[in-house]
Structure 1
Amino acid sequence: MKYNQLAKDIIANVGGRENVKSVVHCITRLRFKLKDESKANTEVLKNMDDVVTVMKSGGQYQVVIGNHVPDVYKAVVEEGGFQSEKSVDPEDADGEKGSVLNRFIDMISGIFTPILGVLAASGMIKGFNALFVAIGWLDNTGGTYQILNAIGDGLFYFLPILLGYTAMKKFGGTPFLGMVIAMALVYPALEGIPSAGDPLYTLFAGTVFESPVYIEFFGIPVILMTYSMSVIPIIVSAFFAVKIEKFFAKVIPSVVKMFLVPMFTLLIIIPLTFIIIGPIATWASQLLGQATVAAYSLSPVIAGFFLGGFWLVFVMFGLHWGLVPIAINNFTSQGYDPVLALIFAHSFALAAAIAAVWIRTKNPKMKTLSPPAIISGIFGVTEPGMYGIALPLKRPFIFVIISSAIGGALLGLFGTTGYVMGGLGVFQLPSFIPSEGIDITVIGAIIAALVASILAFVLTFFFGDINKNDTAITETPAEPDTDKTKNDVKNEVIVSPLKGKVKNLADINDTAFASGALGQGVAIEPSEGKLFAPVSGTVTALFPTHHAIGITSDEGAEVLIHIGMDTVQLDGKHFKAHIAQGDRVERNQILIEFDMNGIKKDGFDLTTPVVITNHSQFEITTINEQEIKSQDLLIELKAK
C-alpha cells in the first residue's frame, strides 16, 4: 500500500500502538485519542512531508493530512492493527473523556462559548457609553445614556438566565429548566426582601460568613443572596438539576412525564439552591474573586508579564478557558477585573509582527494572507495570523510573545483594569474607562499597546528571517494520485455550490483551513441547506458522515467542500447525500442536503470552506466578500 511507510512513521511518533486508545478520521485529519500525549513527537510529525500540521483540541491529537486522509487512515489501521472507526481501548469505549483538565476546559467552553459574542457586544456598548460620558458627548442623567446603559447592562443583570440555558444544555438536561431556575434566583420580589425590613435572626455571627435571615422555607432558614450578575451559583445548580431531572425521568410514567418531571425537578432544585447551593457557591465566587485580585496585587507587573506573554500559548492549548470564567466572575462579584486587562497588548503585537512580514516577504501567498490577518488582529481575532503566519515562521511568534509580555508588564505597571466584559483588540479599550472618566490607567493601556506593537514590528522586520522560512507557509500536503497530471490541468471556472455569503478563508475558525494548508479558496456562510456541484467531474471522496466531499473536475481541478466546522462529530446526523463516491456529477447537480437549524441547534458553525487542494497548479482568483447564489461565479482557475 502506498502509505504504509507513512503510517508506520505516524504510529511510531504518536508514541507507538500501545499509546493509542482510538483513531478515527474526518475529511482532512487523523483524530487520535492518546493515553499520554507527552509521548508523541509533535515536531517530528509536523516536519513529515505528507503531514500538514498537528493540532491538539478537546482531548484529541489531530494529525492533519489533507484530502487523501482515508487512504492514510486505512494504512494506519492496517499497520497498527486497530479497529476501524472504533475504540481500541476498553476505557475509551466506556466513554472516558480525557484528563480532568480536558473535561474542565470542555465544560467551560461549552457553557460560555454560545454567549461570548453577545456578552462582548453588551460590554462594548457599556464601555462606549462610559467613553461618551467621559468626553462629554452624553450626560449620565439623560435618556440616551439610560437606554444605552440598559442595552449594555441588561445581559449582565440577567446573566444567570443565559448561563442556566447553556449549562443545562452542556450537562445534558432540559435548557429551559435551567432558565426557570435562574429566573427564580433573580426574582425581584425575593431580591427586594432584605431592604424591606429587619432580619429574623443572624447565622454564623462573628465570622466572614455572617448572614442575616429574613425568610424561612418550612422552618429552614434561607440566606438571601444577590444572584443577578452571578456566575457560579447557577452553573452548580444546573449540574445538580440535571441529576434530579434524570432520576425523575426514569421513575415517572411516560404518560405524565412531560409535566411531572420538570415540576418535581424545580420543586427540589430551587429550594435546595436558595438554602444550600446558592450561598455556598456565592461565597466561593467571592473568595475566588478576592484571591485573583490579591494575587494580582502582589505584583501587577509580574502578573502582566506572565499573562500578556503567554496568552497566545494559552489560546493554542485551550487553557484560556480556565481564565475567562474567573474574569467574568470578577466582574460580577468585584465589579472589576484585572486579568483580561493584562492581555490587551497581545493582538496589537501580533498584527504589527504580521505587518512586518507583509512588508518583507517575497512570497505571494503570504502577501495575500497578511492583510486580513493584520485587520483581524487589530480587532482581537488572532487565530488567522497566529496559525497561518506567525507560528509557521516561528521567529515572529517568539517576538510576539516577548512584545506581549512587555506590554502586559506595562499594563500592570499602569494599573489598567477592566470594568465591564468588553470586546478584544481596539474594542476592549473602552472597557478600561472608570466611572470618573479617562485616567492614567486608560492612557497606560494605549502606551502598552503601542510599545508592544513597535517592538514586535522592529524585531520581526529586522530579525524575523522571513524569506528564509516562508516555505513553511507554502508547504502543502501530498496530493492523492488521480488520472490527472500537472500537464493535464486546464483553465476552470468554479461556481458556488451554496447560496449564502462569501467569507475570506483566513478568517474562519479552523486553523488548518484558515492557514491555506489544505488548499486555496474561500468560505461560504450558507443560507440554504443544499449543496450543488460546483464543477462537472467525479466524486473522488465522500466522507461516511456526508459532511464533506471531494470532486475532481473534468479539467483537473480538485475541489474540497467541508460543510461546517467540526461537523464530523455529528456522525452523519442532519446530512443526506444524493450521490456516492465514484459517481459522475454534472455542474448544478444536487449533492448533499443538510438541516441548517438542526446543525446550529447542536452548537456547530456552518461556515463551509470551498478549496482547491491542487492549487499549486493554478493561478487562483476568488470573488470578494458578498452575498452569492448557487451557480454564481466563485473561483477562476488559470492553469500554470
Structure 2
Amino acid sequence: MTHLKQNHPDPSKETKLAKVLGIISGSFAPIIGVLAGAGLLKAMLSVLTTIGWLSNESGAYIILSAAGDAIFHFLPLFLGISIALKLGANGYVGGVIGASLLTPEIMHLVENDVKTIDFFGLPVLLADYSSTVFPIFIAIFVYAGLDRLLKKVIYKDIQMFINPMISLIILVPLTMLVFGPIGTLLGEGLGSVISFLSDKSGLLAGAVLGASWTFLTIMGLHWTIIPLAIVNLATGPDPIIAMAAAAPFAQVGIGIAVFLKTRDKDLKALAASGIVPGALAGTTEAINYGIILRYRKTMIYVIIAAAIGGAFNGSVGVVMNDFVLPSVLSIPAFTPVWEYLIGIGAAFVIGFLLTYLLGYESKHSKVDDGFTQNIFGIPSSETIKSPLRGKVVPLSAINAPLFATETVGKGIAIEPEAGKIYSPVDGVITTQFPTGHAVGITSENGAEVLIYIGLDTVKLKGKYFTPHLKQGDHVKQGDLLIEFELDQIKAQGFETTTLVVITNTNQYIDVKATTSVTVEQNDQLLKLTV
C-alpha cells in the first residue's frame, strides 16, 4: 500500500532548539530579501564612487545611500514587527519596542557620548542599537509572553489599547535597562569568538564554515549565523559570510554540471530553475533541495569544493563590507576582491568538474523522499477536485522551500474560508498524520495526493484538528476527511494556507493548476496528464 514511510521525526518531540531556530528563521525570512537588496545597493554605490562616476557628497548619493542604509539602521524596528508576528503577538507593538531604541532623543544622547540616563533612580546604560539583533529578539520573546498573559486577564473590549499601553510601559524600560545591554554583550561576545577563530586559523575556520554551510542552510541553522554577520557589520567588516560564500558558488557549479550532463528533461528543468537565481541572487534552494539532497555524490562534491574555497577566503582575510547574499552581483561587497574571486571561483570550478567528470547518482538511486510507488499500477490522466473553498495561491509563493520549489511535487495552495477538508478523489487513505494536519490519498487512477493544512501547524500537535477517517479507509470524492478550527489556528499565529500536492508528479507529463482566483469545494483544481 502506498504510504508516507513512518521514519519521519515525531513532531510532538520537537526540541526547544528546533523551536527557537524556527522562530529565528521565520523572523528573518520576511526581511532577508530587502536586507540583501539594500546591501547590493550599497555595494553598487561603493563601486560608483570608487570609479568616480558618483560623488559621495552629491544629492543622488545621499538619497540612494539613505535607501541602502535604512533597513540596517532601523533593523530593530523591522525585526520587532516580524518576530512579534512569528510569535503570534501584535507586530506593530513589537515594531514600536524596536523603534524606541532609535528615537531622535535617544540617538542624540548617544551621539553626544552621554553614557547613562536616569529612570526613576535606576541608571540606564545608553548605546547605539541601530543594526543590532539580539536585544530586540530578547525583548520580543518577553513581550510575546506578556501579550498572552494580558489577553487572559484584561477585559476583551479594552484590550485593543490597554494591552499595547501596558506592554510599552513595561517592555521599553526593560529593554533599555536589561535586554539591550545583555543582547549587546551576547552579540559582541559571539562575534569576538568567531573573529578570534578566524584570526587564529582563517584556513581552518573557512574550511569548516564552507563545508558545512550548505547543510546548515538546508536545516535552517544558518539563521543563527546570519545575525552574527550583521552584528559584525555594525562595527566593521564581517569575515563569516566571506568564508561561507564558497558554498553557494559550489552549489551553482554542481547545478550547471547536472544541467549539461543529464538527459532527464525534468531534472534538466529543475537544474535550470536553480542556476539563474543561485548565480544572480544567491538563492540556491532549488539546487539544494532538488539536486544535492537527492543525489548523495553531490553532497561530497559540495563539501570538498566549498571547503577549499572557504579555506582560501579565510586564510587571506576576505571580508564582507555590506550585507549581501553571495552571488555574482554582490561581488563588489567583498574585499580584497581579487582574492575573493579566486576563492569563490575555485569552489565553482571544483564543484562543476567533480560533478561533470565523476557524475551524480542515477535516477534510481536517489535519496528516498518518503513516498513509495502506488498500488494501482501506472497512473492515468485525471482531474483533482478542490478539497475546500478559498483563494488560490501558487506554490512558489509559499514560505516553505520543499513545497515552493516543487521538490515534494507540483500542485497548488488555497487560503481556506472554512475549516473542512473533503476528499478530492475516489481512492484510499494511504497516510493519516497523527497530528491531523495532513492526509495522503492515492486515487483509483494512481494519483498520490498530499493535503497539508497550514504552515508549521505540526507544532500544534493535533490541537484544533479532527480527522474523520483513518489510514486504509476507502473514500469517495466529497467525503469529509478533516475538520479544523480555522480561527483558533490563526489566533495561535499560524498560517492556514492549505497545500494540495501531487507527490508522484514525475509520473505525469503535466500537472496543470486552475487559473481561477478562487475555488469552491468540488471545483476542478488540478488536471493531471500522462
TM-score (normalizing by structure 2)? 0.79
2:32 pairs with 1:116: yes
SS of residue paired to 1:216: strand
SS of residue paired to 1:303: helix
- The verdict on how the C-alpha distance between 1:579 and 1:380 changes in structure 2, with shifts beyond 3 A counting, is same
Match of 1:524 among 403, 412, 417: 412
Shift of 1:243: 5.5
Q: Deviations over 1:220-278 (max 9, x none)?
A: 33332222222222223334445555666677677766555543443333333333443
Q: What does residue 392 of structure 1 align with?
A: 294
Question: How far apart in 2 are the matches of 1:112 and 1:603?
Answer: 16
Question: How far apart in 2 are the matches of 1:591 and 1:248?
Answer: 33
Unaligned runs of 5+ in 2: none
Which letter does structure 2 place at the counterpart of 1:462?
L
Which letter does structure 2 place at the counterpart of 1:522?
K
Question: How far apart in 1 are the matches of 2:469 and 2:513?
Answer: 30
Q: Deviations over 1:489-516 (max 9, x none)?
A: 54445688886465579x9835489575
Q: Deviations over 1:192-243 (max 9, x none)?
A: 13556x86xxxxxxxxxxxx44x32334333322222222222233344455
1:52-71 to 2 correspondences below 5 Å = 60=9
- The verdict on how the C-alpha distance between 1:513 and 1:462 changes in structure 2, with shifts beyond 3 A counting, is same
Match of 1:155 among 63, 66, 71: 71
- Percent identity, please: 31
Which letter does structure 1 place at the counterpart of 2:95?
M
Match of 1:462 among 357, 374, 392: 357
2:227 pairs with 1:325: yes
Question: How far apart in 1 are the matches of 2:385 and 2:54?
Answer: 50
8 Å contact from structure 1 (residues 300, 412) kept in 2: yes
2:374 pairs with 1:472: no
Match of 2:477 among 585, 589, 601: 585
Q: Deviations over 1:17-51 (max 9, x none)?
A: xxxxxxxxxx9464xxxxxxxxxxxxxxxxxxxxx
8 Å contact from structure 2 (residues 412, 500) kept in 1: yes
- The verdict on how the C-alpha distance between 1:142 and 1:172 changes in structure 2, with shifts beyond 3 A counting, is same
Question: How far apart in 1 are the matches of 2:453 and 2:61?
Answer: 43
2:126 pairs with 1:224: yes
Segment drifting more, 185-194 vs 142-151: 142-151
- The verdict on how the C-alpha distance between 1:306 and 1:171 changes in structure 2, with shifts beyond 3 A counting, is same
8 Å contact from structure 1 (residues 383, 509) kept in 2: no
Shift of 1:401: 0.8
2:104 pairs with 1:188: yes
Q: Deviations over 1:137-173 (max 9, x none)?
A: 5443333333332222212111111222344455665
Q: What does residue 258 of structure 2 align with?
A: 357
8 Å contact from structure 1 (residues 501, 625) kept in 2: no
- The verdict on how the C-alpha distance between 1:179 and 1:359 changes in structure 2, with shifts beyond 3 A counting, is closer
Q: What does residue 35 of structure 1 align with?
A: none
Shift of 1:113: 3.4
Question: How far apart in 2 are the matches of 1:424 and 1:596?
Answer: 40
8 Å contact from structure 1 (residues 389, 515) kept in 2: no
Q: Deviations over 1:445-494 (max 9, x none)?
A: 22322221111111122223544x7532688733454xx444xx544456
SS of residue paired to 1:585: coil
8 Å contact from structure 1 (residues 311, 343) kept in 2: yes
SS of residue paired to 1:179: helix
2:61 pairs with 1:145: yes
1:554-565 to 2 correspondences below 5 Å = 555-565=445-455
Q: What does residue 311 of structure 1 align with?
A: 213
1:361-372 to 2 correspondences below 5 Å = 361-363=262-264, 365-372=266-273
Q: What does residue 341 of structure 1 align with?
A: 242
Shift of 1:345: 2.0
RMSD (CA atoms): 4.6
Higher RCO structure (Cα 8 Å, ≥6 apart): 2
Question: How far apart in 2 are the matches of 1:584 and 1:383?
Answer: 37
2:276 pairs with 1:375: yes
Which letter does structure 2 place at the counterpart of 1:292?
I
Which letter does structure 1 place at the counterpart of 2:58?
G
Question: How far apart in 2 are the matches of 1:625 and 1:355?
Answer: 32
Question: How far apart in 2 are the matches of 1:629 and 1:258?
Answer: 32
Question: How far apart in 1 are the matches of 2:141 and 2:422?
Answer: 45
Larger radius of gyration: 1
TM-score (normalizing by structure 1)? 0.67
Which letter does structure 1 place at the counterpart of 2:99?
M
Which letter does structure 1 place at the counterpart of 2:211?
G
Shift of 1:542: 8.6
Question: How far apart in 2 are the matches of 1:345 and 1:273?
Answer: 37
Shift of 1:607: 7.7
Q: Deviations over 1:265-306 (max 9, x none)?
A: 433333333334433433443344334323322232222111
SS of residue paired to 2:243: helix
Q: What does residue 529 of structure 2 align with?
A: 637
Question: How far apart in 1 are the matches of 2:213 and 2:382?
Answer: 43
SS of residue paired to 1:426: coil
Question: How far apart in 2 are the matches of 1:300 and 1:170?
Answer: 36
1:2-401 to 2 correspondences below 5 Å = 28=4, 30=6, 60=9, 98=15, 101-169=17-85, 173-194=89-110, 212-213=115-116, 215-242=117-144, 259-332=161-234, 334-363=235-264, 365-378=266-279, 379-401=281-303
Unaligned runs of 5+ in 1: 4-26, 31-53, 63-86, 200-211, 433-439
Q: What does residue 336 of structure 2 align with?
A: 441
Q: What does residue 509 of structure 1 align with?
A: 400
- The verdict on how the C-alpha distance between 1:128 and 1:592 changes in structure 2, with shifts beyond 3 A counting, is farther
Shift of 1:546: 7.4
Which letter does structure 1 place at the counterpart of 2:372?
A
